[in-house]
Structure 1
């Protein structure tokens, strides 16, 4: 495998570069003095913004190895991310093979806290398998296991309820430490710059405080200046409502399994890895809510 290079001469590849974690990872990597190649599906205003920051933008598809391999050329470290949709294992195999062919010194793999060989969620199970794939490949790898994103509060299946004062999730008494994509992006950039200490390990990424959803609703209430109540519907009822809102089948299937896992404690636990990696504490639920209050609050009449 390739030998580590100094931060100033390191070139890194960031996939999902216009997405929640990738966009921040590009910005933070550039600020750390890294040379950044950003892989995007298409050029548009979002990719143009990355170019303005100083990134080299290339187009490609992780499901097509012959577009991934050229993007790996000359790269020291590469960040792999895949959305909650079919194709994860296929994309990871392509990424591992391309990284191996290009002699990439480190892959940073964004997995998920609930990655589990025995989960009934296809996404959770496949995330576990992908960790094994990267391990088998022989490419030096760091697996990241973040807990649930705070950005979920902004998603179409959650936001309308929050605007009406309801935090609605079938999570029972389960607990987690919700984390913002911004904090994940900062941690990813830190690992792209200096991965050596973490190669071969699995790093959990947590938000500021572990809490249940009653506590989360209370913090949202305080931040937004209006009452937010927690509603805990049965999982089948929740999944049915997602179907009625047009959420894709793969995402619904994931939620059904992931919510059962959550209720059984699979997302619990806390760590200070974001602060250890970046020197700065992650955002709290309240800080995130205040930053997005214009969206989370009801539209003005």
Structure 2
């Protein structure tokens, strides 16, 4: 059944109650683009002009397929981190294909690979592979680490801890990722089969990030390059499952391995605007 027959928009956006899906949904609404917001809890969906909300869970294949009927283009934000996330992704992709979705724009991760050091990047690689085999058109947005998360990595004692060595990460802002996503969603066929590396304008070491946070905020922050043993020990206090601790630690070891280094021009090339730097973000956040 087509979107015209269902009376529902043919563009679907997942995660509109979260940071990225929310930015994308609001931008689309401001442009007058009709959209179908796929959410777990319809009561929490934002009230946006030209938008309708549909209950949908990556885990519930029947509900997902029903919510996706008539959708032509799907913006798929990765599911919340959990041990079964890859299975959820595969089930949702299968539901989209069964519902007749034409094109999926998937939020992946920089350097996604089956043998990536960052454990969750392997799940993204497997999701990409499942999409390639689905018969649907696809576009992958491979985000680097989020620069908004950097100051949250600072402990109460002003120390960023992790086994990252002198490795660099080209941290990128939520807003820049969302602007690229909207650009792609406005003309998906022009981006079919494309993989975009979304980075900020510079690749920084954690020591450099710490100095930038100190310079801008006035809070004294430094980086401590942990050993692997120290990294696992310092995170044991949270009582998290092994897969989660492995993901936390491997974020840093992936940086140490150089797998998050490298600045791409994809953000500026696609949106016409230079991506935001960590310093610019901190300065703008401080002025709000």
Instruction: Give the TM-score band, short-chain normalised.
Output: 0.7 to 0.9
Match of 1:63 in 2: 59
Pick aligned residue for 1:279 from 254, 272, 280? 272
Counterpart check, 1:118 vs 2:80: no
User: Aligned residue for 2:5?
Assistant: none
* Structure 1: unaligned runs, 5 residues or longer: 3-8, 296-301
Residue of structure 1 in register with 2:75 after alignment: 79
Unmatched 5+ residue regions in structure 2?
3-7
Q: Report the secondary structure of 1:290's partner residue.
A: helix
TM-superposition CA deviations, 1:176-208 (whole Å, max 9, x none): 111122221121111111122321121110012
1:211 Cα deviation (Å)? 1.6
Task: State the partner residue of 1:133.
Answer: 130
Aligned partners of 1:180 and 1:23: how far apart in 2? 14
What is the aligned length? 282
1:183 and 2:176 matched: yes
Post-superposition shift, 1:69? 0.9
Cα distance in structure 1, aligned partners of 2:178 and 2:49: 15
1:114, CA displacement in angstroms? 3.6
Query: Taking structure 1 as the reference length, what is the TM-score of the superposition?
Result: 0.84
Task: Map 1:37-52; keep pairs closer than 5 Å.
Answer: 37-44=36-43, 46-47=44-45, 50-52=46-48
Q: Counterparts of 1:73 and 1:97 in 2: how far apart (Å)?
A: 13
In the other structure, the counterpart of 2:19 is 20
Q: 1:219 aligns with which of 191, 205, 212?
A: 212
**8 Å CA contact 1:110, 1:143 repeated in 2:** yes
**C-alpha distance in 2, partners of 1:125/1:185?**
23
User: Residue in 1 aligned with 2:258?
Assistant: 265
- Provide, for residues 203-252 of structure 1, a one-character-per-residue CA deviation record: whole Å limited to 9, x for no partner: 11001211212221222122213432222112332232223134454321
Q: Quick check: 2:151–2:213 contact (8 Å CA) kept in 1?
A: no
What TM-score does the superposition give when structure 2 sets the normalisation length? 0.88
